[in-house]
Amino acid sequence: MDKTSQIYLALFVGLGAFLVAQCVTPFEWMRPDRFDQINDKFYTVTGENCRSKREEDLKFRDDTVAQKPRYNMLLSTIIYSNRSSLLHAHNMALNRAFFYSFIYQQMNQTWDFETQPGLMYIYMGHAADVSANPGFINGSSLFFDNNCSYPNWYRKMNFNITLPLFGPRAWREDDYNEPTNWLREPSNNTISIHDYGSGRIRNYTHPQYKGNPWYSPWLPDLFEKDDSVRKFTYSVGIKYSNATGVFTKDMYTDYSFFGPPQPGQSSGQESLPVHISSPYFDCDRSNRWIVTASSPIVEFMPRYSNWTHLRRARFVGVTTMDVEFERLDMNQCPLAEGNPAPNFFAGTARCRPTTMCDPLMGFGFRRGGYQCVCQPGYYYPWWHDGPFQGLEVEQATWEEYQYGFDCLSVGERMLTPDIAPEFVTRKRRSIYTAKNRFMDTLPKTQSVILTPRQKRSVMEALKEHREEMKKLEDAQAEENPKILKKRFVPNKSNKGSASAHSRMKRAAVDEEAANRMQRIMDRKYQTSIKNCGDKKAYELFLPGDVNFGVERQFEAQGRTALRLAHFMSNFLQNVDEYEEFGDLKGDRRLNETQIFAEVIANIMGDFRILGSGVFFDRYKFRMSPPVNNTDPRFVNGITREFFGPYAFRTSTPQAGLDSFNALDFSGFKNFYTDLPWFQNLKSRWATNFYDLKKFTAKPMIRSDYNGTSSIRFEYYPLTYRAATYEDGEWLRPEFKCDGRVNDWVVTYLAPFFGKNDLKTRLEFKGVVTVDVQLDYLDINQCPSNFYVANAFKNTARCDYRSQFCVALEGKRFNRGGYKCECRQGFEYPFNDLAWYFDGQTMEEEHRKLSVGDPNRYHTLRCRIGAAPSLTASLLLVVAMAFLQLV
């Protein structure tokens, strides 16, 4: 073997050894974890194979959905936006349970039988739950227990006959393949409605029925055992009006009814009014993984019986609302105060030890819904802009992971000073600060747009700075080779995130805005039930730009009103009074008690809603004629001039209990149709219906009393045109000083439409409103652009040279609902287990500053980072110099 071949051999062996060493693939460090366990299950079940799967394979563990809303904790805890869809499903299930409990107990006389909700009323109600709540609710249903429902839509049947099972369920259908959908894109507007109590496998109460996790928590309810815990008596006062300008009675008539349980603060799981199931596969229907919130309907059973001693309040059915599991945020961070057990996915985040995990919202069931922020005492390396995104960490190779996602430690941290700014403003070494000169070249106003010339000067200074930093690092790397490996990690995904956005804003505090904010706050907090009567009319309003964020934060409440508007639109467009379908009776007209029940359910189901109403336009409300009517005038029903049922919640402070009242606005002497908001909405929708969306509902009904098979309803599909959430309108905040609500509210208006008298075209029929308590609105004081209509923008007291502002959730209508985090290249200087400055502290210190009290406002700043490396290299220089001398 000659020398060259030896060299080749050596090279070859070396290459082989190198390849073997490389066999550990770069992503092997990510071991399968609990997320993969669920993810595998998630993808193995499909619409095609779900029927043959075992029940265990069709559901996940209970703790895969963490932080389920608990009814008795809603007022005392903050519900973040990562749980808002689940909370809305919870509230809507409760809303429907209140509705059915009320209506069935209120209309329990034999002569009321005909005015109870008919078949289409029920079907359309659940279709509206789905059509008005895209992104929140994907399925809605009502399931009665065996022999618990009294149908009023069979001609030949006596009123006291019950159906064996009745379970209408509406869900959003994937309509991408419909013949009419030529775009071949899901429109999200098609709703299927099936009666689960009909067809081949119809006994959904059977223990072997798969996919009914809502059944066993409530039903069957056969024994009186714990009736006192599981049922609660609610009472509602209603004031009817039988003609324009008069009330039937001056006082509220009390109606009490049994409803879902009302737990105390410390009650356990068993007495909550809503049960949230573990995720399960909705086999053969929507074919998705869903989570269901269910709430019981209470009624006296048997309803029509002379043997009163046999009757008792019983759970006769459940209302359910489904949300998609895939859309529920999970929290991958380790268990902590904000992330309590049980949470199956806790600890699957992959943050480095120098960082800690912070969940992000809106990621759903997807890896990487978190960011790694520096631990207290660490700061971001200058080559990385802000927190390390979970998505990036999850895509990193082992090399990158090991060296790329660490924060650097802050040296010489200070104790939080009491006052004495002189004491803490230590002068930093001038050689170091000089390198950060480029900061001074930024314009003082910190506006985003720099002139090209400014930009160039910044860029040059920045380049200089980077080079110097690099030299510094290289010098350091000789001592510590690990650092050499650190590489710049591009931060693409950061662009969209809210915090990155506000980080880019460079603005100073706008003193004028701050003064205006003070005046707004004063007006809000100085108006109360005691003095509101003495105020001028304009003083009971706040400016419209206070509403910033309402559309998003109160979306669930707005959609509660929209739901009712959708139902009314569907009903008024498709139900032809007294239409008969052979054996099947068509629905009658709306009865006023039904609408009262709807608005009462709206306020009882959601604690943020203080009032809700349905306001019919003049002469647009047609009611059924009185039963056994002989008056020829009323043959085609009565048209009332006004009908405006409005329900409101009044808190009694001593017990913390709410009481619910409702009245008909047509009883007042001044007409609600003259109010500006009604006029505006009416004129908007008087002639032009171009914007209305078309919804399609596909009702499948039972073929006969026993539900032998499932057939199409006479009208299939039903279509209706209704407003979307964006078509509705949020009014500016108002103090309702009318002896009813007595609080600051923001009101959402949703119009509804029906056919005109000749049934030829659409017309505006009225408005559904909800009043939401203003106190629940989180204000945003962070800087934003000039065109953003936010009364509170640019009022956050951050030091924008070294900090950026992040608005916080759940701080409500108070100043200081933000945090000031350190900008890239700056570090948090104090040794107090925080890594940001709290907005409330900033506000308080600034207040002290402005009145001349001792304060530490000027110490609440971040200092320029990278101190320890400097200390080390200086030491080195000194040591070298010393050695040389020797």
What is the C-alpha to C-alpha distance for residues 533 and 545, in angstroms, rounded to an integer?
25
Considering only residues 407 to 446 of the shown chain, the ones binding ligand NAG according to CB under 6 A are none
**Contact stretch for ligand NAG (CB under 6 A) within 277-285, 516-524, 618-626, 643-651:** 618-626
Q: How far is the CB of 492 from ligand NAG (least distance, A)?
A: 22
> Which pair of structure tokens corresponds to residue 22?
């490389």
Spell out the residues 6+ positions from residue 611 whose beta carbon is closer than 8 angstroms to its own: 603, 646, 647, 648, 649, 736, 740, 741, 745, 769, 770, 771
Q: How far is the CB of 494 from ligand NAG (least distance, A)?
A: 17
Contact residue for ligand NAG among 5, 49, 77, 109 (CB under 6 A): 109
Between 251 and 431, name the residue whose CB sits nearer to ligand NAG: 251
Contact residue for ligand NAG among 192, 375, 547, 591 (CB under 6 A): 591
875 binds ligand NAG (CB under 6 A): no
Spell out the residues 6+ positions from residue 552 whose beta carbon is closer than 8 angstroms to its own: none
**Contact stretch for ligand NAG (CB under 6 A) within 122-130, 184-192, 741-749, 841-849:** 184-192
The amino acid occupying position 687 is T
**Distance separating the N- and C-terminal Cα atoms of the chain:** 55
Considering only residues 231 to 260 of the shown chain, the ones binding ligand NAG according to CB under 6 A are 242-243, 248
Contact residue for ligand NAG among 626, 680, 756, 854 (CB under 6 A): 626
Contact residue for ligand NAG among 37, 39, 72, 108 (CB under 6 A): 108
Residue nearest to ligand NAG (CB): 338
**Residue listed under structure tokens 């459940």:** 318
Considering only residues 202 to 231 of the shown chain, the ones binding ligand NAG according to CB under 6 A are 203, 205-206
Q: How far is the CB of 190 from ligand NAG (least distance, A)?
A: 11
Between 567 and 678, name the residue whose CB sits nearer to ligand NAG: 567
Contact residue for ligand NAG among 188, 267, 457, 710 (CB under 6 A): 188
Q: How far is the CB of 186 from ligand NAG (least distance, A)?
A: 5
Q: How far is the CB of 411 from ligand NAG (least distance, A)?
A: 30
Q: Give 559's DSSP letter.
A: H
What does residue 401 show for φ and ψ, rounded to 5 degrees? Answer: -65, -40
146 binds ligand NAG (CB under 6 A): yes
What is the C-alpha to C-alpha distance for residues 199 and 253, in angstroms, rounded to an integer?
44
Q: How far is the CB of 402 from ligand NAG (least distance, A)?
A: 27
739: phi > 0 → left, psi -120 to 50 → alpha, else beta; which? left
593 binds ligand NAG (CB under 6 A): yes
Which residue spans within 673-802 are E strands per DSSP?
693-702, 710-712, 718-722, 729-730, 734-735, 744-755, 762-773
> Which pair of structure tokens corresponds to residue 523?
């007006």
What does residue 871 show for φ and ψ, rounded to 5 degrees? Answer: -55, -45
Contact residue for ligand NAG among 464, 704, 738, 775 (CB under 6 A): 704
Considering only residues 631 to 690 of the shown chain, the ones binding ligand NAG according to CB under 6 A are 638
Contact residue for ligand NAG among 187, 267, 457, 493 (CB under 6 A): 187
Between 203 and 493, name the residue whose CB sits nearer to ligand NAG: 203
Q: How far is the CB of 707 from ligand NAG (least distance, A)?
A: 8
User: For the CA atoms of the chain, what is the radius of gyration?
Assistant: 33
Q: How far is the CB of 639 from ligand NAG (least distance, A)?
A: 11
What is the C-alpha to C-alpha distance for residues 665 and 667, in angstroms, rounded to an integer?
5
**Contact stretch for ligand NAG (CB under 6 A) within 260-268, 331-339, 530-538, 727-735:** 331-339
b/e string for 69-87 if b means 16 or more Cβ within 10 A? bbbbeeeeeebbbbbbbbb
Whether a cis peptide bond, with omega within 30° of 0, leads into 676 is no
Spell out the residues 6+ positions from residue 463 whose beta carbon is closer than 8 angstroms to its own: none
107 binds ligand NAG (CB under 6 A): yes
Q: Which long-range contacts (CB under 8 A, 24 or more apart) does 157-161 make?
A: 157/705, 159/110, 159/113, 159/304, 160/302, 160/303, 160/304, 160/305
Q: Please state the separation of Cα 152 from the chain's center in Å.
A: 37
**Contact stretch for ligand NAG (CB under 6 A) within 157-165, 521-529, 751-759, 853-861:** 157-165
**Residues 821/834, Cβ–Cβ less than 8 Å:** no
362 binds ligand NAG (CB under 6 A): no
What is the C-alpha to C-alpha distance for residues 260 and 276, in angstroms, rounded to an integer?
14
Between 622 and 861, name the residue whose CB sits nearer to ligand NAG: 622
**Contact stretch for ligand NAG (CB under 6 A) within 100-108, 261-269, 393-401, 793-801:** 100-108
What is the C-alpha to C-alpha distance for residues 774 and 617, in angstroms, rounded to an integer?
28
**Contact stretch for ligand NAG (CB under 6 A) within 13-21, 181-189, 378-386, 562-570:** 181-189
Considering only residues 75 to 94 of the shown chain, the ones binding ligand NAG according to CB under 6 A are 80, 82
Q: How far is the CB of 835 from ligand NAG (least distance, A)?
A: 15
What interhelical angle do 555-574 and 84-106 show, nearest 10?
Answer: 50
**Residues 547/779, Cβ–Cβ less than 8 Å:** no
Total binding residues toward ligand NAG, as defined by CB under 6 A = 43
Contact residue for ligand NAG among 22, 158, 430, 688 (CB under 6 A): 158
Q: How far is the CB of 59 from ligand NAG (least distance, A)?
A: 19
Between 211 and 381, name the residue whose CB sits nearer to ligand NAG: 211
What is the C-alpha to C-alpha distance for residues 366 and 344, in angstroms, rounded to an integer?
14
CA angle (199, 140, 555) in 5-degree steps: 165
Considering only residues 50 to 69 of the shown chain, the ones binding ligand NAG according to CB under 6 A are 66-67
Q: How far is the CB of 732 from ligand NAG (least distance, A)?
A: 29
What is the C-alpha to C-alpha distance for residues 811 and 2, in angstroms, rounded to an integer?
80
**Residues 209/203, Cβ–Cβ less than 8 Å:** yes
Q: How far is the CB of 883 from ligand NAG (least distance, A)?
A: 53
Binding residues (CB under 6 A) for ligand NAG: these are 66-67, 80, 82, 105, 107-109, 112, 115, 135, 146, 158, 160, 164-165, 185-188, 203, 205-206, 242-243, 248, 300, 306, 329, 331, 338-339, 359, 591-593, 623-624, 626, 638, 704-706
